[in-house]
Structure 1
């Protein structure tokens, strides 16, 4: 089932769109907290985003740019703004289509269906991110994003935090981490792992993530 995220400030329009999604057997999710659009996007992992331009706090162009940092998921702008500059901005920011309000639901669904068909017939697009408590690990460029701050990780640092975030809330033993790194042709002995963990913790602390990786003495590490 295709999942569609609806970022629309007008509750009436949002509900009409979501109701129509059910008829097409799509899973729709409407955003209520417009300060958390990016985090909701990461958690929901939609196949397509409907994005209004006029939104509280940050506009649709801002959120489109944030999404494009981590994903090539199709984005359709829906807006009452219809100047050439708005349409050009939508395309330049990474939008795939533009629908002007008021719009026909039939036309909107036709555009959604066509875009989904074009996108997922030829490619397997994923968001390429892991998110945990507002911390976003970008799997494409080995970066971590938290509260608008970004840090770059080395190859081993990335693999370590990927292992821990993928198995968050569970303790991962040092032996298990070293075994997985060894399988990835990246030899890490016990001392090297300690150095990498300490360096990783220092980088996380620099962006306000103190104690993000916790030590369970005699057991291993955990991200709670």
Structure 2
């Protein structure tokens, strides 16, 4: 039996809205106002996904040149969380990355001299509304250091248009559609009886996708015997 040989299935924003509208029990026809509110719910769904945990496709690598005497640096607002970080010197075969530790607020506050200079080996991260602010310590004593960090990025905005796709891998499409149908039903008094069922389907779809979206590297636990 012949198969398509194609692996390109995806849904654009319009198709996601249409599918979710049908699942919510509202049929295929919807107004421009319905579309706008659905797209708004889709953007809120992206924030909800971020709050549920780390989505592997949103992990990015970033670099930041550290300046001599530069005690603080602000990252873009789309940076939600910093997962790992190191200080890099040199380049090519002479490149060297030194892992640095993250300080708690208490550790940062208890530093006697926050203006000490040297090669940074610690980092305090302040989570602000407009983006994280980083405080490397000691303060860089020259311009040769680069901070290399891995961060969780926001999911890109859902905009209008049939050629625009949601910023997520296709394995998350069931969770995206079921989540949107649940949020659409919440806003319509005629579909309130479907809300519990749609919520259950959404939770199940997201749980399945999240279980699949995991790190598969080896994990080894060595007991400490004293």
Indicate the TM-score class for this superposition, using the shorter chain for normalisation: under 0.3
More helix by share: 1
Give TM-score, length-normalised by structure 1: 0.24
Give TM-score, length-normalised by structure 2: 0.24
Could you say which structure has the larger radius of gyration? 2
